[in-house]
């Protein structure tokens, strides 16, 4: 095993260990009301009842078996994956969902390895952030969605900037449908693919542009058929009435979005819009800002800030897809009143933008810059990891072992 692969394995073990410890100490096991519906649908699938959920929010205790409706408020992909993994492994659906999280993290690390074997572990540092540790602790559909959107970016890059292989194009279409089957906002994959197709037709890659447009239309038709099925079975394309534009004032909306984005800017902590800013969040925010400022003042005027790097094109794909996701999220949240935006919703955007930034640094043309930046990266992501990993339970185990 090469040293880089050892580092990558170490990152995986550390992240999965942190998730296990977090789940052990959290009384709810990181199960939210949405999580309960995913697990309920998965259990109904294993029991042979089909894609059903309780028509009440949250699920009442005891559960009313007479109030079961088609599982249309969320796409069926995530509970189907949980049910399949539970059936294959014999684990409870709770632990099957957590195993799925570990599997998705492993899959993303392998994608990083495919991009750059030597520095895949550096890209894997993104899992030390508060937001991603939180998302992968919970039983949430963002778990497979984040894997899918990263794979989508890599496939889109390979098709547009590579030889344009039919296999990449086919996988790209399947990936766009997979994103939608995880979360309805996954339609962003079709929109991005279509937008790139239109741009390519008007530029020098007309053949690739036409192919992208054909696949995006085909994927869009499959999505439209799914929404029509939902409409026939539930009365609404996405299972419930969602159009509530104007219920929330623009001031409240802008404040909620601003607080959410501010929270994502500080990698080691969270600032939920419905809570006052904590002293810890402010201190960590100032520390991160000072750290970045020190790095820029020391290295910002060096000559090794080259303008073109090996991974810049892939970084642009990640930035563009992340931005498209964020814009669509903000539009949907404005016209459809659901919970306040926070790390769960922003996680695909954060993931892609962090990966894009790290891709810029690990480009072979910027190797000196990478070496200069690495201590700052390790300090920033390492601090976030330590602060968001339970430590008391580890100390108790050590005392019990040597006591």
Domain boundaries, the chain: 3-402
What pLDDT sits at residue 271?
79
- Neighbouring residues of 368: CB distance < 8 A, sequence distance ≥ 6: 302, 304
What is the SS3 assignment for 34? helix
Please tell me the distance from the alpha carbon of residue 312 to that of residue 203, in angstroms, as a whole number: 20
What pLDDT sits at residue 126?
98
For the chain, first and last CA: distance in Å?
Answer: 36
pLDDT means over runs of 10, the chain (403 residues) = 92 97 94 96 96 89 84 97 98 98 98 96 98 97 98 97 94 98 98 97 92 98 98 92 77 92 93 81 96 86 66 96 98 86 96 97 88 94 94 64 64
CB 101 within 8 A of CB 19: yes
pTM over 0.85: yes
Using DSSP bridges, classify how beta strands 52-54 and 68-70 pair: parallel, antiparallel or unpaired. antiparallel
* Omega prior to 184 cis, within 30 of 0: no
What pLDDT sits at residue 292?
93
Residues paired with 70 in a beta bridge: 52
What pLDDT sits at residue 302?
64
What pLDDT sits at residue 309?
76
What pLDDT sits at residue 301?
64
């Amino acid at each position: 095993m090469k040293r880089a692969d050892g580092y990558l394995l170490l990152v995986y073990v550390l992240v999965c260990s942190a998730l296990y410890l977090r789940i052990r100490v959290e009384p709810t096991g990181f199960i939210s009301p949405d999580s309960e519906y995913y697990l309920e649908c998965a259990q109904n699938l294993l029991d042979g009842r089909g894609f059903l959920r309780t028509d009440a929010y949250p699920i009442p205790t005891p559960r009313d078996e007479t109030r079961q409706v088609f599982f249309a408020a969320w796409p069926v992909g995530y509970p189907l994956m949980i049910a399949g993994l539970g059936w294959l492994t014999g684990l409870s659906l709770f632990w099957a969902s957590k195993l799925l999280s570990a599997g998705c993290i492993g899959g993303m690390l392998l994608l990083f390895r495919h991009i750059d074997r030597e520095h895949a572990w550096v890209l894997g540092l993104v899992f030390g952030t508060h937001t991603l540790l939180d998302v992968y602790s919970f039983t949430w559909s963002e778990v497979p969605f984040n894997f899918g959107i990263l794979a989508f970016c890599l496939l889109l890059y390979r098709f547009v900037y590579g030889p344009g292989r039919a296999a990449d194009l086919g996988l790209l279409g399947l990936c766009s449908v997979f994103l939608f089957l995880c979360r309805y906002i996954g339609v962003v994959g079709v929109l991005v693919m279509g937008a790139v197709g239109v741009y390519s037709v008007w530029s020098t890659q007309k053949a690739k542009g036409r192919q992208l447009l054909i696949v995006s239309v085909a994927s869009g038709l499959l999505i439209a058929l799914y929404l029509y099925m939902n409409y026939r079975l539930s009365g609404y394309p996405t299972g419930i009435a969602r159009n509530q534009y104007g219920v929330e004032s623009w001031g409240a909306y802008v404040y909620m979005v601003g607080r959410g984005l501010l929270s994502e800017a500080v990698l080691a902590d969270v600032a939920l819009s419905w809570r006052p800013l904590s002293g810890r969040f402010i201190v960590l925010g100032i520390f991160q800002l000072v750290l970045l400022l020190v790095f820029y003042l020391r290295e910002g005027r060096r000559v090794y800030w080259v303008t073109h790097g090996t991974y810049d094109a892939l970084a642009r794909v990640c930035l563009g897809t992340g931005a498209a996701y964020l814009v669509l999220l903000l539009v949907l949240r404005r016209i459809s009143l659901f919970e306040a935006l926070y790390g769960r919703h922003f996680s695909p955007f954060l993931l892609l933008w962090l990966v894009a930034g790290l891709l810029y640094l690990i480009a072979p043309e910027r190797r000196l810059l990478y070496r200069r930046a690495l201590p700052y990266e390790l300090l920033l992501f390492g601090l976030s990891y330590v602060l968001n990993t339970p430590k008391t339970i580890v100390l108790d185990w050590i005392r019990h072992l040597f006591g």
